Amino acid sequence: MTKTTVPGKRPSPAGSAKPGSGVDTKTKSPTAVFVGAALDMSWRLAIVVLVPIIGGFELDKHLGTSPALSILGFLIAGGGVAVVLKQMLNQLESR
């Protein structure tokens, strides 16, 4: 019996790189980079803002500590927004 070798995988074309595949995606158009970054940042900001504010409001209602925890939620949300924006700027600068 003779051994046969299995042909190796062929490289994918340059434009068909899947996200997370380890293929260099620096060839994306600026519009695609902007839209991707905007979508990523929008859901992060929604979570970072809504969770502390709604959580503070609900805890205020439950504990009867009128505006104290709502204000704390707003402050935490503001800090979270700063962190998300900083991360996004660092990510876009590295591209």
- How is the chain split into domains, by residue range? 48-95
* 66 DSSP assignment: T
Q: Who has greater pLDDT, 25 or 34? A: 34
Q: What is the 3-state secondary structure (H, E, C) of 13-58?
A: CHHHCCCCCCCCCCCCCHHHHHHHHHHHHHHHHHHHHHHHHHHHHH
- What confidence tens digit (pLDDT) does each residue in 39-93 have? 989 999 999 999 999 999 999 999 988 899 999 999 999 999 999 999 999 988 8
Least confident of 4-18, 27-41, 45-59: 4-18
45 contacts 77 by C-beta, under 8 angstroms: no
What pTM, to 2 d.p., does this model score?
0.64
